[in-house]
Amino acid sequence: MMSAGTPLEGELVRMIETTGPIRLDRFMALCLGHPLHGYYMSRDPFGRAGDFTTAPEVSQMFGEIIGIWCMQCYDIMGRPEAFDLIELGPGRGTLMIDLLRAVRALPDFLTHLRLRLIETSPLLRTLQEKALESTAVPVTWHETLDDVPQGPSLIIANEFFDSLPLRQFQRLAQGWAERVIGLREGKLQIGLVPQAFSPPPWAAAAKEGEVVEVRPSIEPWAFAVAERLTSHPGAALIIDYGHLVSAPGDTLQAVRQHGPVSIVDRPGESDLTAHVDFPALAHALRSAGAYTCAPLTQRAFLLDMGLELRVSRLSGHATEAEKRELALAAERLAGPTQMGHLFKAMAATSPGLPCPHPFRSNG
């Protein structure tokens, strides 16, 4: 056996030697969440010094706009005297800091919220705690959404669902095969094993060689969100990169130091993500009783929520250099060739509550 490149790679090689190839969802879960060697358990991946940059790291305007969205949802909910503000996968806490700054405009919102962060990484919890100290808002951390006591709630999930493990199936001449991680000369390698597979309706006509992705891991989270929304008034905002129409395609990727690498290259040291199938996510939410609004591109969401006005206001007392930075940040967030069209936004609400602006009913 060749020497392993990372501690996790050594564990994976031994596992495969003992029990055979492992499915992609198992591989992805270990690479990201292994207690000792998982990517999110052992590092701060965000920003220029990390491996990728999320929208909150681009500009404070992103989190502030989500704060404005939350305030209108608070009104729609009837301004409950106590409610949970919940973020799934809060990163460094950057989005929440900017959100809390915006909601100062509505003192009742700050007075009545109970801040809950869903985070499994001890390292990231420490960073979040340090970042949020200045807000003077008490924070409670939870491992899962099920751990949060029931009650009215606003739920934010920015770039959370893309990191949930998935499975991939490839259409072959003789039928379907599942993509797995196996070994070749002692090194990790992507392979195929024949597998019975009942494709979803949209994938039934997949052509030979095409890959179909399914994400069973999304259902427990969607059901947990829907359970809160069906039990008490509330709304959820989900922003992620993905597609508005379900279709075959291999979207699984690994990123390290802001560039693509092979998913089997130095496992535990790269981020693994795949596009979110928004129709499948909406179906899971509706199946559990939540009401879903028609998804939008991130560009449409931010522009309809006043991104240009926010740029104008911040530019009023800015230097020329700061104005250029604001313009570049807005383009990064909403530009059609940047994050604007790649990322989508979707809202879900309690049955009986209207779709918050700028979302519209699915019909």
Specify if 196 maps to a domain.
no
3-state secondary structure of 316: coil
Instruction: Look at strands 153-158 and 83-88 and give their pairing.
Output: parallel
Closest CA to 41 of 115, 117, 127: 127
* Count of structural domains within the chain: 1
Specify if 223 maps to a domain.
yes
Task: Tell me phi and psi for residue 146, to 5 degrees.
Answer: -65, -20
Task: Tell me phi and psi for residue 207, to 5 degrees.
Answer: -85, 160
Specify if 21 maps to a domain.
no
Specify if 331 maps to a domain.
yes
Say what the pLDDT of residue 266 is: 92
Q: Write the CB contacts of 46 (distance below 8 Å, at least 6 apart in sequence).
A: 52, 53, 54, 57, 91, 92, 94
3-state secondary structure of 135: helix
CATH (domain of 324): 3.40.50.12710
3-state secondary structure of 118: strand
Per residue in 54-108, pLDDT (tens digit) is 899 999 999 999 999 999 999 999 999 999 999 999 999 999 999 999 999 999 9
Specify if 277 maps to a domain.
yes
Model pTM?
0.94
Per residue in 283-325, pLDDT (tens digit) is 999 999 999 999 999 999 999 999 999 999 999 989 999 999 9
Per residue in 6-21, pLDDT (tens digit) is 999 999 999 999 999 9
d(CA 179, CA 284): 24
Specify if 120 maps to a domain.
yes
**87 lies in which domain range?**
37-164+216-361
d(CA 119, CA 144): 8
Specify if 185 maps to a domain.
no
Specify if 195 maps to a domain.
no
- Judge residue 91's burial from the number of C-beta atoms within 10 Å of its C-beta, 0-12 exposed, 13-18 middle, 19 or more buried: buried
